[in-house]
Chains A and B, each alone.
Chain A
Amino acid sequence: MKFEAVIGLEVHVQLRTRSKMFTRVAAGYGEPPNTLTDPVVLALPGALPVMNKAALDQIIKAGLMLGCTIAPVCKWDRKNYFYPDSPKNYQISQYDQPICRGGAVEIELPGPARNIMGEHKRIPLTRIHLEEDVGKLTHGAADSLVDYNRAGTPLMEIVSEPALHSAEEAFAFLTSLRLTLQQGGVSDCDMEKGQLRCDANVSIRPVGETRLGTKVELKNLNSISFVRDGIAHEIRRQIAVVEGGGAISQETRQYDGEAGTSAAMRSKEMAHDYRYFPDPDLMPVQVDEAWKAAIRATVPELPFDRQRRLMERFHLPYTITSVLVPDPAQADFFEAAAAPGGQAQAIGNWIANDLLRELAGANRTLAESPIRPAHIAGLVQLVDTGVISSPGAREVFAQMFRTGERPEVVVERLGLRQATDTGDLERWVAEAIAANPKAAAEFKAGNEKALNAVKGAVMKAAKGKANPKLVDEAVRRQLG
């Protein structure tokens, strides 16, 4: 029997805000334990939450980027459960009225080859809601420590429809989502800092079956690769159970990415009754059209849209765009250097191949690059107009990277300007024709390739400083 996997993801993403979700104390990572706290974070008697509007702005922006419907009212509920990471023993969240509904994440699956674009799909979202993050527990042999620095950080939960069918699709979903949220400035999505965390609901069913199978929730998928590996492992595990005559039990499993194994954490019988109810400390907040319009004005071009535009408008090859687009700074650099219709491809090549390689070698970021967009544009222009040769351009590039000088300055300093004095050129051509009578005759008889011997002789005489284009023109003229 052939099986199909059905996967839904629940992705928690910390929003990039200066302060926490319901108080003015700073949100942050890596501070000494329990320093990012105040009476509200610690749930001292009498402390009250007040909504951070910037967090609502951020989630609305995320919702607009992903094509969600934004609710007209932002309503808050309490999710009640006892756990030491939550000092109130309830989490302020959104239960029946999430701020965002619907929407989709566009994903790209791996293509048949590295230089060929893969299939694109739109994975529909169920909802996105806003809540507060919890603290961090560290368990020792005899005790447990709590750090409330993370507690109260604005957190959005993105829930996909069960519309993913492979570990690769889940991987592509997270990659695309992360890129989109990063580019919107909504979150840094650093998984090592816990800014993006993913749980997966995985089930299998025979191909052709439309009902959903029993789902297993996978937790602890703390890198995008672990998400892919964990899901792949779970699909194999479920198929093996079913093929072995067993049944899948509804449970939560923890995936161990290092060992490549998973273990059951808890079964459905231990499910919580969260006793959700509207938080009486927080008034619903109306989100009107003007508010949404103001945020919409800040929404950037989506990564896949930008990639399509760079390919269509600048005729960049897929491989170059796949290098440039994931880092908006790179794509911005390119667009600052390139004018549509100009030598965009050459510019793209210089950036994607040469500049990024050199920067990586020097352990520098693009922002620290001594070569600016104008340098690349100038360099390509010099090649295009025949002022320097391709080998000369390589040398100019290397010099610019060392010194940050403008390309024209390097050309003059190193004497790389190609000979364009037609007197010399005409003389070299005449001498070359005279020295290669056989080739000249063959060309005149229609053998186009024979011209190369003549041109080669000219270049030799010019010691490489002749512009090949001008040489070609001069040879044809004298032979014509």
Chain B
Amino acid sequence: MTMAGPAIFESAATLSTLLATRKISAVELLREFTARVDAVDGRVRAFNSRDDAGALRLAAESDARRAAGRELGPLDGLPVAFKDVIAVDGQPLTCSSRMLANFVSPYDATVTTKLRAAGAIPWGRLNLDEFAMGSSTENSAFAPTANPWDLRCVPGGSSGGSAAAVAAGETPWALGSDTGGSIRQPAAFCGIVGLKPTYGLVSRYGLAAFASSLDQIGSLARTVEDAAVLLGAIAGHDERDSTSVRAEVPDYRAELGRRKGPWRLGVPKEFFGAGLDPEIEAAVRAAMEFYRRAGCEIREVALPLASEYAIAVYYLIATAEASSNLARYDGIRYGHRAAGATDAIDIYARSRAEGFGEEVKRRIILGTHVLSSGYYDAYYLRAQKVRTLIRAEFQNVFAACDALLSPTTPTPAFPLGAKVADPLAMYLNDIYTIGVNLAGLPAISVPCGFTSAGLPIGLQIIGRPFAEADLLAVASAYEQAHDWHRRHPQLP
């Protein structure tokens, strides 16, 4: 069996076809990717760990199924890499934290179970900002991931390992998690597609929680179609997650061809103000022009609350939830335990001091303060009220729009180390993405150009709740008419 060319930059859909037509075997395909990771990951540092042996076994099983003439789905035989916050039975689950550096998950997340059932191969573990807290993957306790387009730059975060691995041809696609932009922002920085589903569409069971009311697992892929296929495999109600919704899961890929527009597309005027990089603004306005020419109605809309208060509200609610969610990492039964502790309180204090990094500690302290007696009403309760208003604001806008267009990020990828010392500047990375999480909406980032320095630019498209099929169709229409997604970084 021979290949038409290197498989590493092909879309998952193409790879699936190659498998179906016996142009390549699942084992051969996996070997291509392990070889690629061996070749480049020393510089990209996207992977925390790999289970090549287990993956090869599953690939061989897939090949055996195919040889037996069974009808196989579009994921069968394809490797999937996981952000290292999603549980895979028998694989490390580090959250890129010293706290869990030696932790191996004894169970599968629901998304893992679903992917296994679809024949996909859980293979590698991808780097992130520790416990998904950050926007550059520099908060990893292990190593900062580099942006494949410019190794001196960050890949974004917190799903930076996921985005970089896809961009660098180390995996056809990956799962990430998005709490305030953690899929979309790195996807934009790395020139790939990143989809954050509606809150409740994908089970969170097995996703190490950062902020429970905001976290959502989603796909990072080369194409909108691949993102749709991966979403279809992981979406759906799960009785193990009370916040998962009994929503119908359509065949997203089939729907891509059925939904042609034209659409009414809103453009939040506040998202084009001060702080937006001019090259990004130009690229996004060009994308708006594309839709206009395609017959869509482009209308300016206002999101004054989301633009003004989303970051403040987010850092109250997310840190409050995180302070409680991360309390379980105490060194008692699993995870890092400090040596020399004298009693239980001492075990907690020392283990957590040693096990957590600076940003995680900062957010735990913030969140603990937010929930403290005497501050709860002023901070947490008020933030929840503003969150309700932000959700209503989006709802109003969607009365007259099918989707919203905006930049994914205000700036392109920035140099490693540039914002490490300034948490507030780092938080502003998520200014266009955070409101979406507060409102529980689906959103996607698709490549829409490059800066003069050759760094990717992302277009964010925001959809109505559970209208992923429409969202993907809007994104696909743009992708079909452009070839940004066909460009790949030339790794030195």
A39 & B106 in contact (Cβ 8 Å cutoff):
yes
A45 & B333 in contact (Cβ 8 Å cutoff):
no
Distance from A50 Cβ to chain B, minimum over Cβ atoms (Å): 5
Compute how far the CA of A353 lies from the CA of B327 in the bound complex, rounded to whole angstroms: 59
Binds B, one of A275-283, A338-346, A448-456: A275-283
B100 at the interface (CB under 8 A from A): yes
B239 at the interface (CB under 8 A from A): yes
Compute how far the CA of A255 lies from the CA of B391 in the bound complex, rounded to whole angstroms: 53
* Interface size bracket, B side: 35 or more
B208 & A46 in contact (Cβ 8 Å cutoff):
yes
Compute how far the CA of A90 lies from the CA of B327 in the bound complex, rounded to whole angstroms: 8
B152 at the interface (CB under 8 A from A): no
Chain B residues within 8 Å of A84, by CB: 330, 332, 344
B242 & A282 in contact (Cβ 8 Å cutoff):
yes
B241 & A48 in contact (Cβ 8 Å cutoff):
yes
Tally inter-chain residue pairs, CB-CB below 8 A: 100
Compute how far the CA of A276 lies from the CA of B368 in the bound complex, rounded to whole angstroms: 11
Distance from A23 Cβ to chain B, minimum over Cβ atoms (Å): 9
Between B103, B330, B372, the greatest number of chain A beta carbons within 10 A of the residue's beta carbon is seen for: B330
A287 at the interface (CB under 8 A from B): no
A39 & B243 in contact (Cβ 8 Å cutoff):
no
A50 & B242 in contact (Cβ 8 Å cutoff):
yes
Least CB separation from A82: chain B residue: B348
* Interface size bracket, A side: 20 to 34
B95 & A51 in contact (Cβ 8 Å cutoff):
no
Distance from B243 Cβ to chain A, minimum over Cβ atoms (Å): 6
* Segment 74-104 of A: residues with Cβ below 8 Å from B: 78, 80, 82-84, 87-90
Compute how far the CA of A82 lies from the CA of B344 in the bound complex, rounded to whole angstroms: 9
A44 at the interface (CB under 8 A from B): yes
B327 & A82 in contact (Cβ 8 Å cutoff):
yes
Compute how far the CA of A43 lies from the CA of B325 in the bound complex, rounded to whole angstroms: 10
Least CB separation from A49: chain B residue: B242
Distance from A52 Cβ to chain B, minimum over Cβ atoms (Å): 12
Chain A residues within 8 Å of B208, by CB: 45-46
Chain A residues within 8 Å of B323, by CB: 80, 275
Chain A residues within 8 Å of B333, by CB: 42, 87, 146
Between A51, A87, A281, the greatest number of chain B beta carbons within 10 A of the residue's beta carbon is seen for: A281
Label chain B's interface by main secondary structure.
loop
B328 & A89 in contact (Cβ 8 Å cutoff):
yes
Chain B residues within 8 Å of A46, by CB: 85-87, 93, 105, 109, 204-209
Distance from A88 Cβ to chain B, minimum over Cβ atoms (Å): 5
Label chain A's interface by main secondary structure.
loop
B113 at the interface (CB under 8 A from A): no
The contact of A280 among B93, B212, B345, B348, by CB within 8 Å, is B212
Compute how far the CA of A366 lies from the CA of B348 in the bound complex, rounded to whole angstroms: 53
A47 & B344 in contact (Cβ 8 Å cutoff):
no
A39 & B107 in contact (Cβ 8 Å cutoff):
yes
Distance from A167 Cβ to chain B, minimum over Cβ atoms (Å): 34
A44 & B207 in contact (Cβ 8 Å cutoff):
no
Chain B residues within 8 Å of A192, by CB: none
Compute how far the CA of A51 lies from the CA of B323 in the bound complex, rounded to whole angstroms: 22
Compute how far the CA of A84 lies from the CA of B85 in the bound complex, rounded to whole angstroms: 24
B240 & A82 in contact (Cβ 8 Å cutoff):
no
B123 at the interface (CB under 8 A from A): no
Distance from A276 Cβ to chain B, minimum over Cβ atoms (Å): 8
B106 & A48 in contact (Cβ 8 Å cutoff):
no
Least CB separation from B206: chain A residue: A46
A273 at the interface (CB under 8 A from B): yes
Distance from A7 Cβ to chain B, minimum over Cβ atoms (Å): 27
* Segment 328-348 of B: residues with Cβ below 8 Å from A: 328, 330, 332-334, 344-345, 348
Known: A50-B239, A78-B324, A80-B327. A45 touches B87 (CB 8 A): yes
B373 at the interface (CB under 8 A from A): yes
The contact of B242 among A47, A89, A283, by CB within 8 Å, is A283
B468 at the interface (CB under 8 A from A): no
Compute how far the CA of A78 lies from the CA of B327 in the bound complex, rounded to whole angstroms: 12
A144 at the interface (CB under 8 A from B): yes
Between A82, A83, A90, A282, the greatest number of chain B beta carbons within 10 A of the residue's beta carbon is seen for: A82
* Segment 238-285 of A: residues with Cβ below 8 Å from B: 273, 275-277, 280-283
Compute how far the CA of A82 lies from the CA of B208 in the bound complex, rounded to whole angstroms: 19
Distance from A136 Cβ to chain B, minimum over Cβ atoms (Å): 14
Interface on B for A, CB 8 Å cutoff?
A: 85-87, 93, 95, 100, 103, 105-107, 109, 204-209, 211-213, 239-243, 320-321, 323-324, 327-328, 330, 332-334, 344-345, 348, 368, 371-373, 376, 380
Known pairs A80-B323, A281-B243 / 11 extra A-B pairs, C-beta < 8 Å: A42-B334, A45-B87, A45-B93, A45-B328, A46-B206, A50-B240, A87-B328, A89-B327, A275-B376, A280-B321, A283-B243
A-B contact pairs, 11 of them (CB 8 A): A45-B100, A45-B328, A46-B93, A78-B324, A80-B323, A88-B327, A275-B368, A276-B371, A277-B324, A281-B212, A281-B242
Interface on A for B, CB 8 Å cutoff?
A: 39, 42-51, 78, 80, 82-84, 87-90, 144, 146, 273, 275-277, 280-283
Nearest 10 Cβ contacts at the A-B interface: A89-B327, A45-B208, A275-B371, A280-B212, A280-B213, A46-B206, A43-B328, A273-B373, A46-B87, A88-B328
